[in-house]
Structure 1
Amino acid sequence: MNPIQGGTVRLGLVSPRPLSPAYLRHAHAYLSARTSSLETVEHPVEGYFAVSLTGTATGSFEGWRDELVSPATALLIDAALTWGALAEHGPELVVTDVDSTFITAEVIELLARRAGREEEVAAVTDRAMRGELDFAESLRERVSTLAGLPETVIHDVAADIETTPGAERLVEIAHAHGARFCLVSGGFTTVLDPLARRTRIDRWIANELEIDNGVLTGRTIGPIVDREAKAAQVKAWAREFGVSLDRTVCIGDGANDLGMLHIAGAGIAFQAKPIVREQADVTLSFPRLDAAATLVGW
């Protein structure tokens, strides 16, 4: 990444503890040598610490990850360098994964608990999220363990779902800035639908469990929402809303989120598996989803 000379460049910094003064001086010096009109803003947020540095690019940013991100990571600071319209105006579309991102749990594991198969299913989920298993095949295997459960367990699980700290606040921030907020889930519509309506999500997709006479069959209906489907849906929503992918932010934790993270203007790995942290543009390492807002321009 090398911002076009003359474009806006923004370094967003967040941490659960006070930001290192030495790192802030280093970041300021690095950006001062490559931008003009550099402005530093400390953002008043509750529960974490946030600072942004914004200027107009005048020089090369080659090697910026080594200079800005690596030392920040060593100090437990999450850093995001954005540029162009995203840096200047913020996102127009935010899309997040659901399980272990917008919500705290993996729904398939909560359902499997009712069948006495949680440990087995959790092991498969972990391997799939690490990219060790094909997601579609792993989902079919996990869903098969639910065969015979009454439909009522879905509603019980839906009632127990907890959103990640800051998730609903992030939706509010996005809407306050005129942006759209969407969810893409490898989970299930019967659980996601009431949550999405309650939290005022603009669009969402998930898998559909097959139910026969009030009992789960252990199968899904229709195409599985996997890595490719998530990325394709992000592109479709961007077209629907007339939004550039450059001003789209995607957030996820597992390997099946990598497709959409790669096509976004900023792809954020949220408390993610190693393969996702390695490939994402940005890492958010502590459990406050609204910190993404400060990282990418709000």
Structure 2
Amino acid sequence: MSKSLASIQLRAIAEPAQQLLTLANWYQIENEDHLKPGACPLSEDGQYLCFFGGELSEETILEILGLCERADIEVSRLALYQPAADIAPGLVLYTESTRDVRAPIRTLAAQCGLQGAAISQPPSLRKPGLLVMDMDSTAIKIECIDEIARLAGVYDEVAAVTAQAMAGQLAFNDSLYQRVAKLSGVELPLIQQLKDNLPLMEGVAQLCAVLKAHHWRLAIASGGFTWFADALKAPLQLDAVFANTLEIADNKLTGKVLGEVVDGSKKAEVLKSLTTQFGIAPRQTVAMGDGANDLIMMAAAGLGVAVHGKPKVVEQADAAITEGSLTQLLYLLSVPV
């Protein structure tokens, strides 16, 4: 890419009458001083570099292109695209490079006040797909087990174990049994209010509504509890829910978990099973989570997305939403290909 790339005349994006770049149309970086309309990239060997999460300007686009050049990421095409009318346009660049540029793209996007992702084969909103979500700190803003512990007066003890498990420092099953044991004797009416007022993650309801309108299947696979996951079926239009079952006796928690634990391996099994059950192409599957026990499921999906994830999860995910609304997932599903 030439050093004089900054001389490309990009007119103000915010004013359609003055646009040089038309939404959803690809432009080829023809030479050192201008763009020309080009066809959609046909090769599946390259990568799509998505930038989103803020307002784009001519200066921002030029800054991104310059940063890519300095990072030795050769870009041949670009396009603007807008997944929904109520969110700002995003920018996608195409590079034929196959080296792993996830980390540098996130870094240079942050330098521009945006979020970034490098995706080799993006799923398409235009085709049926499957989204499997974690629940705690992903579909909802809280860790339910920690909040129950708060009501039981053992929050600090339980939250410390939760943090270790989510960071991958403690086997999930061991951490689950340890934490649930401390909840013995908690009365169900005490946690009913928590169940009735689960704080949804920003944008998750809107995201699910858009996906359902495009014939996607939705599910939760959670290391949390059916007591809460079942309450999300209606508001999120879920097709399936998988979570752990708490043993209850005399209207109280016994401190035990019933049946098979939904851990990282089980979450991956759930994704594969639903993919087969609903007849979804593997490339059209998305897994979304924040903790270490989501990594196996994310690796098994066509696209694994960290949501406000722990550092280890962000590092290993295909893409990451580190701030803002979950509707931003639509940028990763609406790349014009």
Q: TM-score, normalised by structure 2?
A: 0.77
User: Following TM superposition, by how much is the alpha carbon of 1:40 offset from its aligned partner in structure 2, in angstroms?
Assistant: 2.3
Aligned to 2:24: none
1:13 maps onto 2:51 in alignment: yes
**Larger % of helix: which?**
1
Distance in 1, Cα, partners of 2:175 & 2:54: 34
Aligned to 1:73: 110
Deviations, residues 93-130 of structure 1 (Å, cap 9, x unaligned): 11111100100000001111121011211111111100
Aligned to 2:254: 217
What amino acid sits opposite 1:216 in the alignment?
L
Question: 5 Å matches for 1:86-165?
Answer: 86=123, 89=126, 92-165=129-202
Aligned to 2:22: none
User: Following TM superposition, by how much is the alpha carbon of 1:43 offset from its aligned partner in structure 2, in angstroms?
Assistant: 5.1
8 A contact 1:136–1:226 mirrored in 2: yes
Deviations, residues 17-44 of structure 1 (Å, cap 9, x unaligned): 65733344348989x96556x4322556
Deviations, residues 178-213 of structure 1 (Å, cap 9, x unaligned): 111111111111111122233211111110000012
Distance in 2, Cα, partners of 1:285 & 1:85: 19
What amino acid sits opposite 1:139 in the alignment?
L
Aligned to 1:185: 222
The match for 1:176 among 213, 216, 225 is: 213
**Structure 1: gaps (5+ residues):** none
What amino acid sits opposite 2:99 in the alignment?
E
**Larger % of strand: which?**
1
Question: 5 Å matches for 1:228-239?
Answer: 228-239=265-276
Aligned residues: 291
1:40 maps onto 2:77 in alignment: no
The match for 1:25 among 57, 65, 84 is: 65
Distance in 2, Cα, partners of 1:184 & 1:14: 27
8 A contact 2:64–2:109 mirrored in 1: no
User: Following TM superposition, by how much is the alpha carbon of 1:89 offset from its aligned partner in structure 2, in angstroms?
Assistant: 4.5
User: Following TM superposition, by how much is the alpha carbon of 1:240 offset from its aligned partner in structure 2, in angstroms?
Assistant: 0.6
Deviations, residues 217-254 of structure 1 (Å, cap 9, x unaligned): 00010011111011111111111111122211111100
Q: For the pair shown, which has the larger CA radius of gyration, 1 or 2?
A: 2
Q: TM-score, normalised by structure 1?
A: 0.87
Distance in 1, Cα, partners of 2:103 & 2:164: 30
> Which sits farther off after the overlay, 128-137 or 83-92?
83-92
1:51 maps onto 2:90 in alignment: yes
Distance change (3 Å), C-alpha of 1:178 and 1:132: same
**Structure 2: gaps (5+ residues):** 1-40
Distance change (3 Å), C-alpha of 1:35 and 1:93: farther
Larger relative contact order, structure 1 or 2 (CA cutoff 8 Å, min sep 6): 1
> Which sits farther off after the overlay, 277-286 or 4-13?
4-13
Distance in 2, Cα, partners of 1:21 & 1:61: 22
